[in-house]
Amino acid sequence: MTPQTLFQIASNTKLFTAVAVGMLVDGGKLDWDKPIRQFVPSIQFYNDDLNNTVTMRDMLSHRTGITRHDLIWYKADLSRKDLFLRLKYLEPVSPLRQTYLYNNLMYTASGYVIESVSGQTWEDFVRERIFKPLEMNATVFTVQEMKKNPDHAVPYQEKRDSTDLMQIPYYEDTAGMAPCGAIISSIEDMSRWLGLDQTPWSERRLESRTRGKKADQDARSKVGSDRVAQTRPSHPLSDFVSEYEHPAYGILKIGLKDDQLQFDFHNIRLPLSHYHYDRFDTPDDELWGKWSVSFSTSPQGDVSTAVMSLDEAAVTFTRKVDAGLLDPRE
């Protein structure tokens, strides 16, 4: 590692987005405390109260009352505009300005706001107004750009129950959510952005990581304690096979291979095993973690919905109607 080594700076990107918004506030094109719809009429939240009230300060301060909903964008091939248009489906879990709820999507939306009022993409605006004046010449927005510089970081993580290292893939699906976490920079470039006293980050992170690994190990040792023994699914496995849809989270695909259900969500593909009743779980994958899907039936007894716990809330996916049933010629 050198002072020029490029790293994905993740959510430190949010600081650049907030400063970019501040520049537009200074220029009179936005306001911190007036409803954002006065400046960007196309923005829509879950209800009229939010539409008429939410400000840029609310969006950047994580106080809209809307929780994070990260699995809408994670590994999903969605544009910034696509994500912006899905804000209207996100029901608040707390009143506006009453609590802190971290929300990446509000920063993605803020990036789209910057584009809407400035006429420049978020990337062009940040590059022209921040990077160039500070001579942050090595700082880029994509892994593809980063790899052109031979001095770049390669990601590894420890295996769960040991200190053995394994290389993990870069997270590259950053185009849509770039304003909340896509900037790639170096110590040298970041020192032009911010010159603070040194902090013992290695010691702090080691302590935090060791504590986290122990907590993860303890949690996994308790998995299955709520399992009800000797239950069976209410339907043959083939009856669960379909695509299930949520307007914000997209498509959950359930397939069948070798008499085992298959999970496919945002291109995360894992087998599903029966847990109890109509709940099925994936293995606790080293990279993608564990996923649970609980199915429900309609009054007619057909499998109609699939429920997953995502982003601290239960999300219901509705079974899509088979295309053949919509075709009057069938």
Q: How confident is the model over 230-269, as pLDDT tens digits?
A: 999 999 999 999 999 999 999 999 999 999 999 999 999 9
CATH topology of domain 237-326: Lipocalin (2.40.128)
* Residue 240: predicted pLDDT: 97
pLDDT of 330 higher than 90 = no
Report the chain's mean pLDDT, rounded to a whole number.
Answer: 93
Domain boundaries, the chain: 7-158+165-196, 237-326
Percent of the chain with pLDDT over 70: 98
pLDDT of 42 higher than 90 = yes
Among 274, 268, 272, CA closest to 282? 272
Tokens representing 223? 């998995």
pLDDT of 328 higher than 70 = no
pLDDT of 3 higher than 70 = yes
pLDDT of 25 higher than 70 = yes
Percent of the chain with pLDDT over 90: 82
* Residue 36: predicted pLDDT: 98
Question: Which residue has better confidence, 195 or 68?
Answer: 68
Among 154, 174, 175, 156, CA closest to 164? 156
Q: Does domain 7-158+165-196 have CATH number 3.40.710.10?
A: yes
Q: How confident is the model over 118-175, as pLDDT tens digits?
A: 999 999 999 999 999 999 999 999 999 999 999 999 999 998 888 899 999 888 878 8
* Residue 324: predicted pLDDT: 57
Largest Cα separation within the chain, whole Å, is: 72
Stretch among 4-8, 77-81, 108-112, 218-222 having the lowest mean pLDDT: 218-222
* Nearest-10 crossing angle of helices 13-26, 104-118: 40
* Residue 27: predicted pLDDT: 97
